[in-house]
Structures are given as C-alpha cells and as structure tokens.
Amino acid sequence: MGDKDLITRLDNRLDQLVKIDMGERGVEHLFEAARALQGESLVGAAADALMAVPEGGTVVLTTGSVSRAWITTDLGENDGPSGAAAIARALVLARNVTCVMVCEETLLPAIRNTCQAAGLFPVTLEQAAIAKADKSLATIVMIPYATDDETGKAQAVQMLDELQPDLMFSTERVGRNEFGVYHSMKGIDYGMGRARVDFLFDLALERGIPVVAVGDGGNEIGMGKVADHVKAHVPYGDTCQCGCGGGIGAVTGCDVLVTAACSNWGCTAIAAAMAARAGNSKLLHTPEREALLLDTMVANGLINSTHGIVDDSVDGFPRNSHIAVAELCRTIVSRAL
C-alpha cells in the first residue's frame, strides 16, 4: 500500500478529472452532492471498497443498457461494458476474485466479448472455482438476468443465496423510478426487454452487502443516493416525457456512488485508484486496452447512444477522448506505481 496522504491527493485528482461535465448533463451537481455525502473522494472510496473484497471472494457486477428498446431489444450501448470489464479485470488481478457479470440475455454476447478482450475468459461458475483455486486463468462468469419484475425479484433471492457475494458493482445500469418505469436520459420509457437487475441490488442493500455504483445521468442504479439532486439538476429529473408522473431518477441507491461525465471514465479512474493502492500497474485500464475495447464494442454492435450509430464514440465523446482519459488517469497515479 502506498503513502496514505499521496493516495488521497491522487484520488482527488481522479475525481476532478472525470467529473468535468463535457456532456452538459448536470453531472457536476450530482458529483458535489455525492461528494458531500461521502465526505471523501468518490473514486477513492470506490477503490477502497473494491480492494477490501477478501482474497478469493465473489463480486457480482452489472452493466449494459438496452438502447432504442422500442426498435429492438438486441441493441446495447457502448458506455458501460468497457468500464465494467476494466473493473472486473482489476478485481481478478488484485484479489483473485470470482467476477459474475449479470445482464440481459440479448446483450450478453457483446458484454462477454468485451470482458474477453479485457483478458477475462468466460466460464461457468464451476470452472471459475477451479481457476480460482489454482490461479491458472483469469475468468468471468456471465449470467443472464430476467427482464420482468416478478422473475427479477425471485432471481435476486436465488442469486444472492447461491453466490453470497462480498460486493456488488454496477455501472451504467438503468434502474426504475418510483413508479417502476425505466427511463432514457430523454425521459422516454424504454424498459422493454431490460433486465430487472435493480431488484438484485435492492436486495443486496437490504442484506448489507456493499454496493458500489457508477453513473453519469441520474437514471442509473446508485443514483437513489442523490435522488433530490437528480430531480433538481438533471433534464427530465423532475418530470419525464412518458407520463408516468415521475422523473428519470432511479430509486435504487448504493453505499459508494461515483459520478462521472461518462460512466466508463468513472471506471477507468477507479481502476487507476486500485492500481495506486496496490502499487501494481497491471490493475490500470491503459489507453492501449481502452482502444482495443472500443474496437471490440464496435465489432459487437454496441451503439454510441448520443448519435444513434455504432461507432467508437461513447456518449457522443470521440474515441480519442476515452483514450486520453485513460492516459491521464495513468499519469495521475504514476507517482504511486
């Protein structure tokens, strides 16, 4: 572990980098609110929680946002998967953890292939146990999650009973509002074909399992922690366009919330903070790997949701901005590596 004061300074710099609201989403307000509640660096608190997972433990992760669900539920967006893959990779390398990724069956192939490009070979739970015991392979376990409320609630009980996870991690995973509706950033109901993973996270919170969540818009799992601020500062935070009577804010909260201008950037920063804590550059999400994952996501048909096209811009930010964020995160923590 590095010098504690140095780590705190690096954490704060990572926070400052990824909170810059280049997408004009009102996310800086959410950062200030989350930061006040946390009382310390958001990125640092997330990295602390992830590094506190016991060696050989189990972490459940989720990401994946069905995009244009009213056209097809086969299409997912490219903010989320690369960040989740970066965090899973860092967890496996740092703590020899079994990472279980849950998402829609429809998005599973694309997210699986993104994780594989990040170095994690997809296996079953039984195979992951073998790999963990002899440390011979970095793995990921992919589990499809139900897309209706009742099955989603039942699957939550079954999964937490079976897996007994040490921590839950969510990035860019839309959660329902107080009326049970899943909204896009534009306030449109796009819950069709969407996995009800928020019920899994609600139950985890009830059971006292630590939950770390990353978001950039207010409609994601974890944002329940700053619900009043989502209502006040985010477009459609107060009133959606679907007529349900609520706003886009997700009701599901979390223990540690990381807000960023782009959820993938939040994950890149968290991986860097993990690397700084471990003094291990292998935990970094490098610019080179970000480039590879951007290409992988294009090849797997994940969409740049801002422009409505499959390309290597994410949330409307061009390719080089994501590679640059990874480079800057690496530069910020280089003093601890």
Question: Three-state SS string across the chain, please?
Answer: CCCHHHHHHHHHHHHHHHHCCCCCCCHHHHHHHHHHHHCCCHHHHHHHHHHCCCCCCEEEEECCCECCCCCCCCCEECCCHHHHHHHHHHHHHHHCCEEEEEECCCCHHHHHHHHHHCCCEEECHHHHHHHHHHCCCCEEEEEECCCCHHHHHHHHHHHHHHHCCCEEEEECCECCCCCCCCECCCCCECCCCCCCHHHHHHHHHHCCCCEEEEECCCCECCHHHHHHHHHHHCCCCCCCCCCCCCCCCCCCCCCEEEECCCHHHHHHHHHHHHHHHHCCHHHCCCHHHHHHHHHHHHHCCCEECCCCECCCCECCECHHHHHHHHHHHHHHHHHHC
Establish if 181 lies at the interface with Zn ion (CB under 5 A). Answer: yes
Which residue stretch of 7-15, 61-69, 72-80, 180-188 sits at the interface with Zn ion (rule: CB under 5 A)? 180-188
Q: Which is nearer to Zn ion, 232 or 244 (CB)?
A: 244
Establish if 240 lies at the interface with Zn ion (CB under 5 A). Answer: yes
CB of 142 to Zn ion, least distance (A): 31
Which residue stretch of 133-141, 146-154, 179-187, 213-221 sits at the interface with Zn ion (rule: CB under 5 A)? 179-187
The single-letter code of the amino acid at 248 is I
Establish if 143 lies at the interface with Zn ion (CB under 5 A). Answer: no
Q: Which is nearer to Zn ion, 198 or 290 (CB)?
A: 198
Which residue stretch of 12-20, 161-169, 236-244, 265-273 sits at the interface with Zn ion (rule: CB under 5 A)? 236-244
Which residue stretch of 8-16, 75-83, 90-98, 174-182 sits at the interface with Zn ion (rule: CB under 5 A)? 174-182
Distance CA 120, CA 42 (A): 26
Establish if 244 lies at the interface with Zn ion (CB under 5 A). Answer: yes
Look-up of token digits 């939950």: 211
Establish if 242 lies at the interface with Zn ion (CB under 5 A). Answer: yes
* # chain residues binding Zn ion, by CB under 5 A: 4
Token pair of 288 as six digits: 């080179």
- CA distances 244 to 165, 174, 178, 183, 235, Å, are 34, 16, 10, 10, 16
Q: Which is nearer to Zn ion, 205 or 244 (CB)?
A: 244
Which residue stretch of 70-78, 216-224, 239-247, 291-299 sits at the interface with Zn ion (rule: CB under 5 A)? 239-247
Which residue stretch of 151-159, 191-199, 234-242, 280-288 sits at the interface with Zn ion (rule: CB under 5 A)? 234-242
CB of 99 to Zn ion, least distance (A): 33
Establish if 185 lies at the interface with Zn ion (CB under 5 A). Answer: no
Q: Which is nearer to Zn ion, 210 or 249 (CB)?
A: 249
CB of 243 to Zn ion, least distance (A): 6
Establish if 131 lies at the interface with Zn ion (CB under 5 A). Answer: no
Q: Which is nearer to Zn ion, 83 or 224 (CB)?
A: 224
Q: Which is nearer to Zn ion, 181 or 329 (CB)?
A: 181
Q: Which is nearer to Zn ion, 244 or 310 (CB)?
A: 244
Q: Which is nearer to Zn ion, 190 or 265 (CB)?
A: 190
Binding site for Zn ion (CB under 5 A): 181, 240, 242, 244
